[in-house]
Amino acid sequence: MQLEALLNYPRALPAMPRAVSDLLAEMNREDPSPKRVGELIGRDPALTTRVLRLSNSAFFRVSRKIGSADEAVALLGMTHVRSLVMAAALGASFKNVPGIDLKQFWRYSLRAADIARALAGVLHQNQGNAFTAGLIHAIGVLVMHIAMPDQMLTLNVSTQPLDFDRAAAEQAVLGYSYAQVGAGMAEKWQFPQEMVSALANQLTPFEGEAYDPLAGLLHLASWRARAEELQLDINGMAATFPDMVGLTLGLDLDSVLGKDPAEWSFSQALGAFIG
């Protein structure tokens, strides 16, 4: 299937829920109302439950339990709540994807998101954007498996979805990879252009005419999360570390590994995606 046909395939790209589109419209205003945002989240019980699960997870290390959408907005701020709304919407949109272990996929994506946010703090980039971009950087994998299940299952036999060589294998077979698919989906869902660009450039953030630091963060965060899923030891990580991307950003292997979460158990956050 050609990329344009895939991005227009009705079953592959879920429509943005009305609650989310209303929320984004409010959040995109020059002076969004925290009260209005809380009200809009509260109108959708399923969305509220998912947002609160994420809000109270280890990611945000809040000092007390957040019990309502209004509290989430007050304690976490608009940028993080926007990330949580998008994450919750995505978690509800993709179910029973052929050939994909969704628990593993979202665990990996949450790990990449946490690392991207931590690295963004070091490099003085927007941490909310980095978290969201990390969370959705591989969403194209799900879209491709829904639209082309037989072809993807065949590809999975030779190269698993979280293998380091996966993007190259997709490119060789299809002429595009999950990165372009994810960028196309983000554009249709009206994500900020900075995020669309980062998803599109994540595999080669500093090649050709591209110079995309957020894409560079995604590249490193994806590498680290995949290395953990593949259970690489320190020698394996040293051998596969993307040196040129790290050098361009001023980050070496030790500095990236130093941003690992204290623990890899994200069970509460996972509930927002597979619960």
Per-residue model confidence (pLDDT) at position 275: 62
Q: Which amino acid is it at 219?
A: H
E strand or H helix at 136, and its extent?
Answer: helix 127-136
What's the CA gap between 200 and 139, in Å, rounded?
Answer: 12
- pLDDT tens-digit profile of 98-126? 899 998 999 999 899 989 989 999 999 98
Domains for the chain: give ranges and CATH numbers.
3-14+96-274 (1.10.3210.10)
Count of other CB atoms within 10 angstroms of residue 51 = 26
Percent of the chain with pLDDT over 90: 48
> How much is the average pLDDT of 213-221?
97
Instruction: Yes or no: say if 223 and 217 are a contact pair by the CB < 8 Å rule.
Output: no
Reported confidence tier of residue 60, pLDDT bands at 50, 70, 90: confident
The residue that leads in pLDDT, 153 or 271, is 153
Count of other CB atoms within 10 angstroms of residue 26 = 15
- pLDDT tens-digit profile of 181-215? 999 988 888 788 899 999 999 999 999 888 999 99
Instruction: Yes or no: say if 26 and 36 are a contact pair by the CB < 8 Å rule.
Output: yes
Instruction: Yes or no: say if 214 and 198 are a contact pair by the CB < 8 Å rule.
Output: yes
- pLDDT tens-digit profile of 244-274? 999 999 999 999 999 887 777 677 778 777 7
